[in-house]
Each structure stands twice: as structure tokens, then as C-alpha cells.
A and B are shown apart, each in its own frame.
Chain A
Amino acid sequence: MTDSNRPLSPHLTIYRPQLTSLLSVLHRGTGVFVTMAAVLLVAWVAALAAGPGYYGLLMAALGHWLGQLVLLGITFSLAYHLCNGVRHLVWDTGRALELEGVYRSGYAALAASVVLTGVIWGIAYTAAGGL
């Protein structure tokens, strides 16, 4: 048996947070969250197929401020995972792996995901007929 109290490396409690590690954790977190959010996408098409009663219920839930907050979280998570995923795909080809490039692309992925979230919500509010 191994001793479960053995210290783990890296020592997270004293390890200085860095952009690289934070974005890596965020990539995993957003990936898991978007996978869970697939339930909502399936619920949406299922409600559309099931009829006005179910669709109305789902729309009312999503229109509530809590539903809007969840949708905002999903939008940002999807946008970030997509942008940072492109970063990973570039790395897979062996490019942009020097520290300076990794930091630059990290900030770029964050900025792009905020912009993409804003664009999608701008489209949604315009489609819904303004604020």
C-alpha cells in the first residue's frame, strides 16, 4: 500500500499561479462544462420536437436571470475551449512552443474568447429584439 499522505508534486498550495498552468486547468474545466452543457442542447431540440408546452417551459427557464447566467457561462466556456483548442492544435504540429510564444498565444486565446462571447451575445440580443 502507498501512503496516501505523501506530498504531491507540484505543491499546489505554495506553487505560484502562472498563466500557462491556469489556462491549462481552465481548458479542462471548460471542456468538462461544455460536455455537461450538451444536455441543454439536446433538451432544446427534444423540446422543439416535443411541442409548445415543453419548449415554453425551457424558454422560461433560460429567460430567467439564472438561466441567462448559465448560458453566459456555457458561451464563454465554449468560446475559450475553442480558442485554446486551436492553440493546442498548433502545438501538436510542433509550432509556437517557445515560452514567449506560449504566453502571447495564451493572452490572445483569452482575448479572442471574450470577443467571441460578446459577438454571440450581441447576435442573440439583436435577434431577441434588443435589451
Chain B
Amino acid sequence: MRKYETAESRARGLGSAKNGFHHWWHQRLTAVVLVPLMLWLGIGLALQAGAEIEAARAWVGSPVNATLLIVAIAALLYHGALGVQVVIEDYVHTAGLKWLSNLAVQLACLVLAVAGILAVIQITLGG
């Protein structure tokens, strides 16, 4: 099929989907960011095991932790949405259902991320 491509589309290397590289690259970028963030979060949450609400709030609300937590929630759900999209594209074979389930997953991840970030901000502001 290569010979049917224009010189420009071959140079851009995007293929017929036009946006595959963007998806692939963002999945890797968020993966690299998530390696240290999830190690930090795993240990940080483990330290809150059995904690009273005030202690857990103080941990979430400290400026450094709140910042890292917001970045972690955003990166985690963005990475999750990108990953589940690939799984849906591989296993859902009906075009309409594929579109609908992808839309549902993206929306759910967006709502979750916003809710989580808002809660962290509320705790930081002492609400």
C-alpha cells in the first residue's frame, strides 16, 4: 500500500487513522510519569492504613502531597482511559457499540478525575 501514499503522508507517518502516534506517545508519557507517582502513592496510602480522618486529611492536604495527588489522579485516569480504549478497540467488534463503549469509558474517567481532584482541593482548603 506504500506506493499509494502521498509523499507528505509518508513523511508524517500517521497512516489512515491520522492520530495513532498521539495516542501511543501519550500512553508512554503518562506511563513514565506514573512509575514514580504510583510507587509514592502506594507507600503513601499504605501509611494511612487505619488512620483517623484528621490524620489522613492532613496527609492529603499538605501542599506537596495535594499537588502530587492531583497529578497522580489525572495521569492515572488519562493512562487508564487510553489503555481501556485499546482493549475495547481489540475486543468490541460492532462499530456502533465500539464507539459507544469508548465514549462511556472516556466520560467515566473524566468525571472520576474531576471528582477526585475537586475532593483533594476541598481538603487542601480545609473544607
Contacts and interface: CB of A to CB of B under 8 A. Distances in A.
Contacts of A123: 43, 46-47, 49
Q: Chain B interface residue count: which class?
A: 35 or more
Contacts of A1: none
Contact of B73 (A28, A42, A51, A127): A42
Interface string A59-98: 1000100000000000100110010011011001000000
B32 A89 contact: yes
Q: Chain A interface residue count: which class?
A: 35 or more
27 contacts: A28-B87, A31-B83, A31-B87, A32-B84, A32-B87, A35-B80, A38-B73, A38-B80, A38-B112, A42-B112, A42-B119, A44-B45, A45-B73, A46-B116, A48-B60, A49-B122, A82-B35, A82-B39, A85-B35, A119-B43, A121-B46, A123-B43, A124-B46, A127-B46, A127-B47, A128-B49, A128-B50
Interface of B: 28, 31-32, 34-35, 38-39, 42-43, 45-51, 53, 56-57, 60, 69, 73, 76-77, 80-81, 83-84, 87, 109, 112, 115-116, 119-120, 122-123, 127
